[in-house]
Amino acid sequence: MNRVLIDCFGHQIRIAIVEQGQLVEVLLENKEEKSIVGNIYAGKVVSVVEGMQAAFVDIGQEKNAYYYYGSQRAKTDTFEQKSKKPKTGDTVTVQVQKDAVGQKGAVVTDKIALIGKFLILLLTESGQINVSQKIENSDEKKRIKHCMEQILPKEYGVIVRTQGEHKTQEVFEQEIKYLLKQAEKIKNTKDFLKPPALLYEYGDSIVKLLRDLDMSDIDEIVINDKNRFETLQEQNVFEHIIYTEKKASFFSEYFVEKQLQKALQQRVWLKSGGFIVIEQTEACVVIDVNTGKYTGKKNLEQTILKTNLEAAEEIAKQLRLRNLSGIIIADFIDMPKKNQQQLLIKSLKEFVKKDRIKTTVVSMTELGLVQITRKKIRPSLQQMMTTKCRCCEGTGKMPSLDWTVTQMRREVTTIFENTIYEQVTITADKRLLLAFCGEKNVFQKELENTFSKKIVCIPKQDMDFGTFVIEKEKNIKNNII
């Protein structure tokens, strides 16, 4: 059974998509920090960066939004692009494509679209009619385009979503009317509000997900918030909606809580005994494939092929589950044969088709690395569920004991050699001080005897390992340790 579980307990909304008992996708949102993706704003241009064909726009958020006005990246301004170039102080109507992440503000576009269940109305692309690539039947595509030509006003464009397959013209017409009302409301509101101002709110995380999700694959929705349960029923979002009184233990009842915790682990085991290692960095995501415990039954070639194919399926699942995006590099086990490489790429392309976020398998490099891109819409699961370690700043590395002790001795020597100070006081973790002083304080005494000066060591339990403070004193005081 396929379910959507909506947990509203505490200060966070957690939405889990579970297919046959397996957690496949998670959306987390703090109730105080809602996603603004899809919102439409009247923004004020704060600055223009001509060299990047971009501008920074005040949309009323903490950080200014990044607005790219060029039609094509990495090309010199054309006349058309220059005509679109805004000036500082201009008012622009923009829609949020990506939420702010870290030090970066939201990303916005001037290509405005209103998303419905079956259609996407394009407010700035007049006469354009496109059909989802996932609708593969050519006759069905022709029928849908014919329907759109009959009901779509010329000043608008439209994209028919995958959910629009086999829908009647009456259904399309009903949704078009609703979206057109929203479009007119936005246009009228824009003339009366002073920027920065919100013109249109796309909806909360629950509404967004259910609007974007192909509900034909879902058997039931389970939610533990009475008010939101009643709202979903009133909106007739889905037929089988169940309310549960379970709060803190809600996800545990469906065996989702442990799966969610596992999604943070760096190593993911495959059924055969192999494993993949997922490393998220600032620039890209790197995935390494290993045979692990799996040694195969026939020969090395078949062992490697089976491990790679199994890893390809798991990588597609992990991209969706962890919401990994941007540039992803997968280092599969080397396969010299071209037909095996082609089979791997073909299989990976099939596996990522289940992802509702656009994912592209680019190619395999000469070094055997597979390049994947996935559209970035919101922060990854790791970014939402973890914070940087205050000791290592998220690197997972700390200065080694030997390096830190050497640094301490170097600083003490520099002070004694080049200043008039007669004593230094070192405050640090006790283990660090023991290494600095040496067995029976041999290294400490060596420094003191060399310069005829004093070193005082003060252990402090709450100091981070690898950090230390050295204070200089002109007068020699009694040693504390």
The pLDDT, as a whole number, for residue 80 is 46
Average pLDDT over residues 219-228: 92
The pLDDT, as a whole number, for residue 71 is 65
The pLDDT tens digits of the residues spanning 35-71 come to 888 899 999 999 999 888 899 999 999 899 999 987 6
Q: Is 125 exposed, middle or buried (0-12, 13-18, 19+ CB in 10 A)?
A: middle
* Residue 58 backbone dihedrals phi, psi, to 5 degrees: -85, 115
The pLDDT, as a whole number, for residue 77 is 47
Taking CA 128 as the corner, what is the angle to CA 123 and CA 133, rounded to the nearest 5 degrees?
Answer: 110
What are the tokens at 168?
């009647």
Nearest-angstrom CA–CA distance, 76 and 263? 43
Cβ–Cβ < 8 Å for 119, 164: yes
Is residue 480's pLDDT more than 50?
no
The pLDDT, as a whole number, for residue 389 is 80
The pLDDT tens digits of the residues spanning 248-264 come to 889 999 999 999 999 99
pTM of the prediction? 0.72
